[in-house]
Amino acid sequence: MPKVLSKEESDRRLKRLKGWRTDGSFLTKTFEFDEFMDGIGFIERVAKVAEGLNHHPDIHVRYTSVTFKLQTHSEGGVTEWDFELAKAIDGIGLMGTGKVAS
């Protein structure tokens, strides 16, 4: 199992990701979509990648907004696995209509 990253290491890695931030012991990012179903389609694409990585995000849907919260639950904090999933989610977001919420 990967180890929980220090705040300094997480902050350093966050600089390489657009729109992600820390929220307690999670990485989080919100994507905005034009239509509800665009967000649902995005979630489906993320779910396939997450299943392949065997690392699953917490997902919150609020109409056209989709928020992901990443944490290695078994470790109780953010690990390298969460940064890998964040990069994968960003890659999926670039292919779709998702815009990062401000």
Residue 12 in domain: yes
* Predicted confidence pLDDT, tens digits, the chain (102 residues): 899 999 999 999 999 999 999 999 999 999 999 999 999 999 999 999 999 999 999 999 999 999 999 999 999 999 999 999 999 999 997 665 556 543
Residue 41 in domain: yes
CATH number reported for the structural domain that contains residue 37 in this entry: 3.30.1360.20
Which range marks the domain in which residue 39 is found?
7-100
| Long-range Cβ contacts of 67-70 (<8 Å, 24+ apart) | 67/28, 67/29, 67/30, 67/31, 68/28, 68/29, 68/30, 68/31, 69/23, 69/26, 69/27, 69/28, 70/26, 70/27, 70/28
Residue 94: its pLDDT value, please?
61
Residue 37 in domain: yes
Residue 2 in domain: no
